[in-house]
Structure 1
Amino acid sequence: MHVARLSLSLAAALALSAPLSFDAQATSPIMSEGNNGVSAAAMKQADILREAALHDETAWHVLESLTTEVGPRVAGSEADARAVTWMVAKFKALGFDKVWTEPVTFPKWVRRSESAAIVGASAQPLHVTALGGSAGGIVTGEIVRFATLAELEAAPAGSLTGKIAFLDYRMERMKDGSGYGPGSRGRSRGPSAAIRAGASAYLMRSVGTDDHRNPHTGMTRYDEGLTPAPAAAVSNPDADQLARLLKRGAVQVKLALDCGWDGEYTSQNVIAEIRGRGKPDEVVGIGGHLDSWDLGTGAIDDGAGIAITTAAALLIKQQPMRPLRTIRVIAFANEEQGLHGGRAYAEAHNATVAKHQIMAESDFGAGRIYAITFSESGRDSAAAKQIETALAPLGITPATEGGPGPDVIASAQNGVAWAELQQDGTDYFDLHHTPDDTLDKVDPEALKQNVAAYAVFAWLAANASDSFGSAPKAAETAR
């Protein structure tokens, strides 16, 4: 999607900021107590902020630093610890007012090696990757193809004894990423279905939309009471190869995975703030997750989200007046293996749900943002409508469908209001959880558009006189 650039130059935009040189001790024109929504002065400043973001290089520099100096940072690894150290140092170097960490403890899964090959008359290697959470083991067996998860789940008990189940479902390419759900269900539920039918191992077509010979990893799980079996994803071209060979007769595959659970690990949510001028104890939370899978360098998933929200908050800090509320940037730990950082944050801050004005997470790459939606509690607020108006020049339109970012889900369940800034994910699943998730896949101009959107959103939400509806939920309904 092409987003037309604003005609106002950066120099002119900065010049316009002169009349907004406020006396911090005087009544602020940014927000007038008792009025609904956001003041005209704050809206005008949002226009200036939006234009400045479209020329700002901070997000690119942050993303380049993370992916180059740290690289892959799978949860629980030595690189996870380096990423935390890097994030703390980066927040401090950029001049955030307060930086701290909060512990996140989780089971540690380790990938050591993986391989697969067709054996027999058509012997040839396959490009595979172990699914996160998979058991290790070496299995050789005839593969049995299933076109859908429903077919596999209907397989009778014992029908796959000594065999390898092969789920050959290909996800659909969709702008909003909605094709991922059906595909990822095969990753999360497929291994258990295979084991119940007696299979010795599970092999699935990668949950991705590309035609590259790169397998896509991602978490799986095993139903309680089942003995885990090796589970892996095969690249899309190799899945095609298996399907062609199966039309010619039986196919034997050898799968060798050296991986598994290895105790517990404690990482950290890294949090930084731009303190609010008038209501510093009330926060607008934005962020992304700091961990990545180990195959690529985590540029789109989710280094981009870290870079976008960090740069957006920093631009707000550089405005002639601080926002009324605090802007909090959260670099969540271990999203990939079970939303552990988001859950830890929600638990740690459950007592201050009402102090969270709103939260939003960037965790869908760096494609241009094309829509915004709010939780039902704030969707019809005056501030939400004004945010939609301020984002329109970026090609962003209001939406009603959507949900909180992955790491915001637990906070939303506790009653925190949320917004979703929806990115174009048409190509996202070409790269997702693969070796191709690298810096060169990020469009710098699209990255700037994301920063502009998050900066405008966070600025206006922080200066709104009305609430987006955050309120604690009763304990029995919070989860």
Structure 2
Amino acid sequence: MTFAQNATSGQQSYLDRLNARINGGPGAWTPEQITRMQQIRDAAMRDPYALNELRHLTDNIGPRLAGSPQAEQAVQWVAAEMRSLGAEVTLEKAMVPHWVRGVETGELMAWPGQAAGTTQKVVLTALGGSVATPADGLTAEVIVVPDFAALKALPAGAAKGKILLFNHPFDKELAAVGNGGAAYGGAVTYRGAGPIAAGAVGAVAVLVRSAGGADYRLPHTGMTMYAPDVTKIPAAAVTAEDAEMLANLAAQGPVKMHLKLTPQTLQDAQSYNVIADWKGSEHPEQVVIVSGHLDSWDLGTGAIDDGAGIAVSMQAIHVLKELGIRPKRTVRFVAWMCEEQGSQGAEQYVKDYKDQIANHIGAIESDLGADHPTGISYEGKPELGKFLRPVAQVLDGIGAPLLESGGSGEDLAGLAEKGVPSFAPIQDSRFYFNYHHTAADTFDKVDPKHLNENAAIMAVLAYALADSGAGAPR
């Protein structure tokens, strides 16, 4: 192809995109279906349902750690709420870990410049799945490294018998430009693998700098990991401020710390995914999932992680009911259980429905809070972007026109691996990790308008996938 031909081709492609933008075009949908999407969008923006449901879930039921009484109450309450909408509800069993936090304290016993007879508090929280210290705690010297490479560079035996701190900061500048997920990914590695790396060099406990962006002396919890061939050691997250303090003092001389953690890992508990089907009018055996995860960590009340995802998914069914819409295919609400401690509920779903995966037309999960959404992230064939353009044009009315190839929710990983087109709202992540997995994850962090924007994306996309003439490319 000559340069001139290539330029002409490029101009034509650009003109095609402009024409699609100007003239729209229904794509896989009729003009009447596009109008219905607009009605769904506007109804979702007016509907207080998600906010009211979220308030009850967080304030009345509270934290929902898998295996806890609150998680069980949340299952029963969500099931009852979905039945009241007229959906067909089933509770599908899943065995989940049952970890209980217990006491968690830390204090410095000796450090350079210490006033005689004093101690100094360290603000920390046990990591999910952590083993306990001895009942009276343990006292050991603290050694600080910034990353795994620095740990490897230590002399042999340098960490043996000590408390090892990974002081690896959350990249707030990366998060500030909308890449909160990337900033979190860089920090959370130490939370996940820290106990293995520290245990392998003989440390008696491990501390990690909290994987979050708000420096208000808030510790961030989350799941950690152990390896079968490495001694399990107690693991906790310290606040950013305390991590910096420990690094400063340890650079001046020996620092001794007393650490007490009393978590328990009990026998696995029986819990449930809540499944609620809004049956399709023509192909009820074909399903489109709208979902969030019902469990939460236990420090806060799980408003943005992931009560908001549950509430906007419930609202998708509520809007369809209020507008009297029965799409051709079934819209299936799923409240996943135990995303935070290993996605056991999602794994069980894939096993239970292994023979029906071909009838899963699409799956959506919201699990990045409730800040302003800018569009749809899709996981699957590149053709999904073109397929969704008419939907994006409808969502442009609420400032959410973007289509990006990327990830979807953690609970959708098994479905996506089997070829099910998977989706998530693209959400503003600049502030999410300030509160995520902390005591500050509470109802007041949710903006009602932003919550309804997320509900609008969930409802419009669910209807679009469930009522399209041709299914989403897969």
Measure the CA separation in 2 of the matches of 1:321 and 1:429. 37
1:99 equivalent in alignment to 2:98: no
Query: What does residue range 213-292 of structure 1 map to in structure 2 within 5 Å?
Result: 213-292=217-296
Measure the CA separation in 2 of the matches of 1:152 and 1:290. 37
SS in 2 for 1:370: strand
1:80 equivalent in alignment to 2:76: no
- Partner deviation per Cα, 1:70-119 (whole Å, 9 max, x = no partner): 101111112121111111112123x1320111111133222111111111
Measure the CA separation in 2 of the matches of 1:424 and 1:96. 33
Q: Is the 8 A contact 2:385 2:405 kept in 1?
A: no
Q: Is the 8 A contact 1:171 1:209 kept in 2?
A: yes
Q: Is the 8 A contact 2:101 2:126 kept in 1?
A: yes
Query: What does residue range 221-370 of structure 1 map to in structure 2 within 5 Å?
Result: 221-370=225-374
Query: What does residue range 136-285 of structure 1 map to in structure 2 within 5 Å?
Result: 136-137=132-133, 138-155=137-154, 157-173=156-172, 174=175, 175-176=178-179, 177-285=181-289
Measure the CA separation in 2 of the matches of 1:384 and 1:401. 11
Q: State the shift of 1:401 in Å.
A: 3.8
1:56 equivalent in alignment to 2:47: yes
Aligned residue among 407, 415, 430 for 1:426: 430
- Partner deviation per Cα, 1:302-354 (whole Å, 9 max, x = no partner): 00000011112210222243111111110000110011111111111121111
- Which residue of structure 2 lines up, in the alignment, with residue 31 of structure 1? none
Instruction: Indicate the larger mover: 418-427 or 393-402.
Output: 393-402
- Partner deviation per Cα, 1:217-272 (whole Å, 9 max, x = no partner): 00001112111011000112222222232243221111111013211111100011
- Which residue of structure 1 lines up, in the alignment, with residue 30 of structure 2? 39
Q: Is the 8 A contact 2:220 2:237 kept in 1?
A: yes
Instruction: Indicate the larger mover: 284-293 or 379-388.
Output: 379-388
Measure the CA separation in 1 of the matches of 2:238 and 2:81. 37
Q: State the shift of 1:58 in Å.
A: 0.4
- Partner deviation per Cα, 1:415-438 (whole Å, 9 max, x = no partner): 211112111111011101110000
Query: What does residue range 376-395 of structure 1 map to in structure 2 within 5 Å?
Result: 376-377=380-381, 379-380=383-384, 383-395=387-399
Q: State the shift of 1:381 in Å.
A: 6.6
Aligned residue among 458, 465, 476 for 2:469: 465
Alpha-carbon spacing, 1:210–1:92, altered in 2? closer, same or farther (3 Å): same
- Which residue of structure 2 lines up, in the alignment, with residue 477 of structure 1? none
SS in 2 for 1:268: strand
Aligned residue among 83, 98, 102 for 1:108: 98
Instruction: Indicate the larger mover: 353-362 or 240-249.
Output: 240-249
Letter in 1 for 2:351: E
Give the alignment's TM-score, normalised by structure 1.
0.88
1:132 equivalent in alignment to 2:128: yes
Letter in 2 for 1:189: A
Measure the CA separation in 1 of the matches of 2:71 and 2:325. 36
For structure 1, the residue ranges without an aligned partner over 5 or more in a row are: 1-34, 471-479
Q: State the shift of 1:159 in Å.
A: 2.3
Measure the CA separation in 1 of the matches of 2:330 and 2:171. 40
Measure the CA separation in 1 of the matches of 2:280 and 2:62. 33
Measure the CA separation in 2 of the matches of 1:344 and 1:76. 16
Q: State the shift of 1:380 in Å.
A: 3.8
Residue identity (%): 37
Q: State the shift of 1:157 in Å.
A: 5.0
Q: State the shift of 1:124 in Å.
A: 0.8
- Which residue of structure 2 lines up, in the alignment, with residue 65 of structure 1? 56
Letter in 1 for 2:333: V
Q: State the shift of 1:139 in Å.
A: 2.1
Q: State the shift of 1:448 in Å.
A: 0.9
- Partner deviation per Cα, 1:355-406 (whole Å, 9 max, x = no partner): 1110010001101111313223263476422222221222223343421201
- Which residue of structure 2 lines up, in the alignment, with residue 15 of structure 1? none
Letter in 2 for 1:131: L
Alpha-carbon spacing, 1:381–1:250, altered in 2? closer, same or farther (3 Å): closer
Q: Is the 8 A contact 1:377 1:468 kept in 2?
A: no
- Partner deviation per Cα, 1:54-75 (whole Å, 9 max, x = no partner): 1110000000010122101111
Measure the CA separation in 2 of the matches of 1:85 and 1:153. 49
- Which residue of structure 2 lines up, in the alignment, with residue 13 of structure 1? none
* Number of residues of Structure 1 aligned to a counterpart in Structure 2: 435
Q: Is the 8 A contact 1:153 1:194 kept in 2?
A: no
Alpha-carbon spacing, 1:100–1:409, altered in 2? closer, same or farther (3 Å): same
Letter in 1 for 2:124: V
Measure the CA separation in 2 of the matches of 1:269 and 1:154. 46
Report the RMSD for the aligned CA atoms in angstroms.
1.6
Measure the CA separation in 1 of the matches of 2:282 and 2:365. 24
Instruction: Indicate the larger mover: 435-444 or 385-394.
Output: 385-394
Give the alignment's TM-score, normalised by structure 2.
0.88
Measure the CA separation in 2 of the matches of 1:361 and 1:321. 21
Q: Is the 8 A contact 2:200 2:231 kept in 1?
A: no
Measure the CA separation in 2 of the matches of 1:433 and 1:380. 33
